[in-house]
Every structure is written in C-alpha cells, then in structure tokens.
Amino acid sequence: MKMPLPKLQAMILYFCENTDSKFLGKTKLMKLFYFSDFGHVKQYGSPITFDTYTKFAKGPIPSVILNLVDEASEDIDSSVLAEVIDIEKPQGIDMCRILARRKLTDDDIKLFTPSELKIMKNVCERFRHKNTEYIVEASHEEAPWKKSKMYQTIPYTYATLDPDCEANKEEIELALS
C-alpha cells in the first residue's frame, strides 16, 4: 500500500465523523474504503489508498487496512491506529464498532487532494445512515466484485466494467505502475 499512515488515519477519522457511528463497524469501514478507492479509480483513474482488495462473501476487503484494524481490535494500545480510533464490542451484538478518539483536523484534511475529498464525501453521503448489510449488498452490485473469484485479488481495472467508469484500463494501469 502506497498510502502513508497519517493519511490512512485521517481517512478513518473522516469516515468516523461523516457516517452514523451506530452503523460504523469493521465490515462497513472496509466497504467505505472500497467505494472510495474504486470510486476514485472510476472518475480519476487511480485509487486513494492503493491497497490490495480481495473478494470475500461480504464484499471487497482491503488487505493491509483490514490487518491494521484487526490488530487494533485485538490490542488497541499497541496498534498504529491507537491515536485515532477506539474499537467497541457491544455486548450481544456481533460487531466491532469503530469510534474516533479525536476530531479530524485541518491538518488531516490537507493530506487529501480535492478529488479524494470529493469522492470520500460522496461515499459518506451515500452510506451515512446505512447499515452493514446495505453497503455489503451495494458492493455486490459492482462489477469488480461480480467479476472476481472468491478469495482472489480484485484488480482495480475491473472498475472499467461498471457503466459509471470514466477512466480506461490503460489510465488505471499507468497510475498503478
């Protein structure tokens, strides 16, 4: 993943502040990253995080980001995400709720390009009050998930198979090289 840690932390904070916290669990967070990365690919030809996505039953999962969130859920204090999130495990609910430990700052916002902020804003508006099942189903409607095989890497170039993609395969491949 080419994204620096401060930018990843800022992106998580952005999602925490711009979606309903009662619905922001680990699975929904992974889908917010997916829709942001692939949305940016579709409009601008390159992802935001450059993470590697894998197809799972509940939709595309960013590998490095998932590992970081998993580490945080096991031991938040030694996690690289400890500065920005808490992970709450409500009793009786099969969900790890992601909560911000601090506010998103102007310095955090400066880590993003205008196009990245635009995409993240659109993703958050689309899924702000939606639950995990809703966003999982939405990810299943995307060509990258449909075209990929289970447990295999999802190529960013599969975004070109969706009708709303404005970039072409060559532009995406160039951005990834």
pLDDT tens per residue, range 30-80 = 999 999 999 999 999 999 999 999 999 999 999 999 999 999 988 888 999
Contact in structure between 176 and 44 (CB atoms under 8 Å): no
d(CA 108, CA 111): 6
144: containing domain: 5-176
Tell me the one-letter amino acid at 49.
T
Residue 29 tokens read as 């967070």
pLDDT at res. 83:
93
Q: Can you state the angle between helices 132-140 and 26-44, rounded to 10 degrees?
A: 40
d(CA 105, CA 14): 10
Mean of per-residue pLDDT scores for the chain: 94
Q: Residue 159: which pLDDT band, with cuts at 50, 70 and 90?
A: very high
pLDDT at res. 93:
67
Q: Residue 91: which pLDDT band, with cuts at 50, 70 and 90?
A: confident
Strand partners, 25: 97
Total number of domains constituting the chain: 1
Q: Residue 165: which pLDDT band, with cuts at 50, 70 and 90?
A: very high
Three-state DSSP class for residue 175: helix
Mean pLDDT of 139-145: 97
Across the chain, where does the E strand assignment appear? 53-56, 59-62, 85-88, 97-100, 153-154
Based on its alpha-carbon atoms, the radius of gyration of the chain, rounded to whole angstroms, reads: 15
Three-state DSSP class for residue 10: helix
> How many CB atoms are located within 10 Å of the residue 92 CB?
4
Tell me the one-letter amino acid at 84.
V
